[in-house]
Amino acid sequence: MRLTIFGSGYVGLVTGACMAEMGNHVVCVDIDRTKIDRLNAGEIPIYEPGLAAYVERNAEAGRLEFTTDVQKGVDHGLFQFISVGTPPDEDGSADLKHVLAVARSIGGHMSDYRIVVDKSTVPVGTADKVRAEIQGELRRRGTNLEFDVVSNPEFLKEGAAIADFMKPDRIIIGTDNPRTTELLRALYEPFNRNHDRVISMDIRSAELTKYAANAMLATKISFMNELANLAERFGADIENVRVGIGSDPRIGYHFIYPGVGYGGSCFPKDVRALAKSAADSGYEARLLDAVEAVNNRQKHRLFDKIGEHFDGDLDGRTIALWGLSFKPGTDDMREAPSRTLMEALWQAGAGVRAYDPEAMQEARRLYPEQDRFELCDTAYGVLEGADALAIVTEWQEFRSPDFDTLKQKLAAPVIFDGRNLYDPEMLRALGLTYYAIGRGNVADPARSGWDRRSTDKIAS
């Protein structure tokens, strides 16, 4: 099939590459000439495992093209995917200016029947606005052409987007035309062969489904962080609690890991946008407001622990930081907990020495003039002479470090673990002071009940 994708950012590029991988002829349109030039030169502007190979293979085969030519894009595809950004506005609502601009472009250039697919995450009612913009352009041109607008939200996890698209859990299709539903089914047939993953519904329900999914996952994270904060006060270990409640199939183990809050381009933006949509409809969504408030507070937990440990005296100290991206498998630092921690440390007069496997370039772009910020090429390189280590992102290479080397390099053997990667008792036995999230009292070496000989066996 022939399809056009407006927007060559995260969602658009993954969608285009995966659709082309199945033999479709895809044209990606973007107004950013620099981005298009980079893509045509074989450069991928984002980090996503496996994406570069998909883009390269399908571009070479002629199935994936990149252009700034809107007319070419509208002429090319029966399916016109809108995959542009919907950044948060000042009041928390989703900014639809890019979505509606694409709709006007389609209406201004189309000459035949088109199916316009909202792939961007948008508030309920956006399809109506897209339809009105296209219809307005057609009227302005004095043309009467048939078209349909569809809601087909994406459910891609950063770091696993290729797998999510190629083997989806579900394919949501929101339409008001049975013929359009069948055409979308045919487009997604290659991704739907094992069993039927297509769930068809009305357009507004499809739009709400995307927001509801992200809000539900964000709620689980914030609720678990709330329990973690209680566990610290009660002297309980939240990791034991997590296993205990996760064994209940009604709850499950997914998204109940305590930490330093969620970030990224989806959860924060979508929770706020849904709460704003609720307020605009005259409903106070108290739970959504609480999810957001708990998450904002949780992002400060490591800084609070660091401040308490040093009795509020952080001026002139250096904190080593492992992890900058908001989650493993991506270089995305949008609303990342690392940014909250670093900015608080700088304000308190401390310096930060950081390492991340993928997000170093993005960190340089975000903080080009911060003189108390140093990036190192290795995880152990950040430790030299630092007053403490803070762990913010749970990259695999941080899960089993050489603790003896860590102790030797740090000025003081102190770890602030925002992702609960290690066993507190083992770190006590190794002579490390260890602060985690929701794991009872601080793991102080003086209170260790761990047999050091068992640790030596692990080391050997």
Question: How far apart, in whole angstroms, are the C-alpha atoms of residue 410 and residue 387?
Answer: 6
Phi, psi of 140 (to 5 degrees): -60, -35
Question: How far apart, in whole angstroms, are the C-alpha atoms of residue 443 and residue 460?
Answer: 24
Instruction: Tell me the three state secondary structure of residue 223.
Output: helix
Question: How far apart, in whole angstroms, are the C-alpha atoms of residue 191 and residue 194?
Answer: 8
Distances (CA, A) of 52 to 13, 385, 405, 427, 452: 10, 38, 36, 40, 46
Question: How far apart, in whole angstroms, are the C-alpha atoms of residue 369 and residue 137?
Answer: 45
What the block records as the tokens of 190 is 């290659």
Beta strands in 236-347 (DSSP E): 318-322
Q: For 157, which DSSP code?
A: P
Structure-derived torsion over alpha carbons of residues 420, 423, 426, 427, reported in degrees to the nearest 10: 0
Q: Which of 274, 368, 288, 269 is nearest to 326 (CA)?
A: 269
Q: Which of 160, 147, 272, 132 is nearest to 211 (CA)?
A: 272
Q: At 434, which amino acid appears? A: Y
User: Which is the catalytic residue, given 18, 28, 266, 376?
Assistant: 266
Residue 282 near residue 316, CB atoms below 8 Å: no
Token pair 């991206």: residue: 325
Question: How far apart, in whole angstroms, are the C-alpha atoms of residue 340 and residue 305?
Answer: 14
Distances (CA, A) of 231 to 85, 206, 240, 440, 449: 39, 38, 10, 6, 20
Q: Is 18 a catalytic residue?
A: no
Give the active site residues.
Answer: 266
